[in-house]
Amino acid sequence: MKIIIVGTGKVGSILVEQLSSENHDIVVIDTNADALKQITERYDVMGIIGNGATVEVQREAGVDKTDLLIATTNLDECNLLACLVARNLGARHTIARVRNPEYASQMAYLKNDLGISMTINPELEASAEISRVLRYPSALKINPFARGRVEMVEIKIQDDSPIAGMSLFQLRNKYQLKILVCAVARGDELYVPGGSFVLQEGDRITLIGTPADVDTFFGKIGIVKAKIKSVMIVGAGKIGYYLTRQLLSMKISVKIIDQDPVRCRELCELLPDATVICGNGSDQELLTAEGLHSTDSFVALTGLDEENMIISVCANTVGVKKVIAKVNNISLAPVLNQLGLDTVISPKRLTADRIVKYARCMQNYEDSKIETLHKLLDGKAEAVEFHVSGEADICGKPLKDFKFKPQILIACIVRQGTTIIADGNTVIQKGDNVIVISGMEALNNIEEILL
């Protein structure tokens, strides 16, 4: 596909990295010549210096022959205008990053009347991800599939876990549940494991099953689904606002700390049911005085990755049950894991992943289309849900009769509302939703899993 990306900030850079690796024809537009030079030298993409919301620059980029224009600058209005211009000049699809909470209620209008294919709010995406994790605090990450019928849950195997030292064959025989361990991160290595794979302490594992089966399994291995009743948030930006609003709707007590007195007064008016503290959230004495030791969860949402890391380590040290840190520099993930910070949220990464999913879904194939896509284990692998709509070659025969590419696993099949954990005798049928794990390459079509 031909794709135009307007803006070379962090989101734009991540998009260029991911989409260029999938062999798309990419043009990048930005007013910053130095940033544009860096990105064009690093990746095989074309760069144009200029305002991406103007007719002249978009025509120079060939917008009339473009499949998708993505506007990711720091200005919402510029992004919306760029999409409107692109649509009028002939672009097939447009995506705008829109961050202002005041526009949230107007999203339907923006999409329908302005002809924008998708709007995405990084802060809203991040708050939704955090609130989802807080519903199951023992999990590092939760990804829904098949409209919530199936969940993919990431956990870390603790030192005293009964499944440490157990092979996946032994795991299935002992617990007799319809769950599947589909990916394991051990240090810097990723494994898409077979039945003889032995789990170890410290492994980060991703497993899949129905919510009920996952709950039952966690109970059997001693992971208790303790309900979060109180949350302390440091950082009253857009994510803090969205998250507090969501948590209050879940009847969770929220205390939010920020050192900007103007912002604190705003939040007192917008969120009267929350406790708003004006102070330095990195001050350990303040955190202690405000009840850090007794809170169920701590979320660090300041604008500085380093500050979020430091105060999250402090919260971890005093024994807070669930600690979540916002970190946009995802390359810090190995350091964070060593510090014991296992749940990390990157709004820009979430935004890029959503947009990449949309780009993949545009490439409609006759026999299958992508319904859901999630990155796993810090982006080392991905899980793709395909809807098998035609007579694909993989239909009609047991899976054991096929040869699959390395690092590929068919994890689960949803057929007419019934969840099937796949094995060698499973047969894929037309109409199935098939969830595939890939540890090596990006998948656009279910046929690409075959050798």
Among 151-160, 249-258, 289-298, 367-376, the range scoring the smallest mean pLDDT is 367-376
The whole-number pLDDT of residue 111 equals: 77
The whole-number pLDDT of residue 364 equals: 62
Q: Give pLDDT tens digits for 413-451.
A: 999 989 999 888 999 999 999 999 998 788 888 989 998
CB 346 within 8 A of CB 327: yes
User: Any idea where the domains of the chain sit in the sequence?
Assistant: 2-120, 127-220, 230-320, 350-449
The whole-number pLDDT of residue 312 equals: 94
Quick check: 269 pLDDT over 70? yes
Quick check: 24 pLDDT over 70? yes
Give the mean model confidence (pLDDT) for residues 331-357.
83
How sure is the predictor about 366, in pLDDT bands with cuts at 50, 70 and 90? low
State the fold for domain 127-220. Alpha-Beta Plaits (3.30.70)
> 184 or 361: which carries more pLDDT confidence?
184
- CATH class of the domain defined by 350-449: alpha beta
CB 15 within 8 A of CB 356: yes
Quick check: 267 pLDDT over 90? yes
Q: Give pLDDT tens digits for 7-22.
A: 999 899 999 998 998 8
> 362 or 410: which carries more pLDDT confidence?
410
The whole-number pLDDT of residue 225 equals: 67
User: From residue 274, how far is each of 211, 266, 287, 322 by CA, in Å?
Assistant: 30, 12, 16, 19
Domain 2-120 shares a fold with domain 230-320: yes
Most confident range (mean pLDDT) of 41-45, 110-114, 222-226, 297-301 is 297-301
CB 190 within 8 A of CB 144: no
Quick check: 224 pLDDT over 80? no
| Cα–Cα dist 66/89, whole Å | 10
Average pLDDT of the chain is 90
State the fold for domain 230-320. Rossmann fold (3.40.50)
Q: How is the beta sheet containing 204-209 ordered, strand by strand?
A: 141-145, 150-156, 204-209, 180-186, 189-191
Among 114-123, 203-212, 256-265, the range scoring the smallest mean pLDDT is 114-123
Q: Give pLDDT tens digits for 393-422.
A: 888 899 999 999 999 999 999 999 899 998
Quick check: 115 pLDDT over 90? no
State the fold for domain 2-120. Rossmann fold (3.40.50)
The whole-number pLDDT of residue 83 equals: 95
Q: Cβ-count burial of 128 within 10 angstroms (0-12 exposed, 13-18 middle, 19+ buried)?
A: middle
| Cα–Cα dist 277/259, whole Å | 8
Give the mean model confidence (pLDDT) for residues 341-370.
83
Among 14-18, 88-92, 258-262, 356-360, the range scoring the smallest mean pLDDT is 356-360
Among 90-104, 274-288, 334-348, the range scoring the smallest mean pLDDT is 334-348
Give the mean model confidence (pLDDT) for residues 25-37.
95
The whole-number pLDDT of residue 23 equals: 84
**159: which 2 tokens?**
């030192």
Q: What pTM does this model have?
A: 0.85
Quick check: 75 pLDDT over 90? yes
Give the mean model confidence (pLDDT) for residues 40-45.
92
Quick check: 233 pLDDT over 90? yes
How sure is the predictor about 365, in pLDDT bands with cuts at 50, 70 and 90? low
Q: Give pLDDT tens digits for 312-335.
A: 999 999 999 899 999 988 777 677
Among 18-27, 197-206, 368-377, 411-420, the range scoring the smallest mean pLDDT is 368-377
Give the mean model confidence (pLDDT) for residues 96-115.
80
Share of the chain above pLDDT 70, in %: 99
Quick check: 240 pLDDT over 70? yes
Among 109-123, 285-299, 332-346, the range scoring the smallest mean pLDDT is 332-346
- What beta strand segments (E) does 32-77 contain? 46-49, 68-71
CB atoms inside a 10 Å sphere around CB 38: 14
Only one residue has tokens 């690796």, namely 21
Report which of 261, 317, 255, 313 is spatially closest to residue 286, judged by C-alpha positions: 255
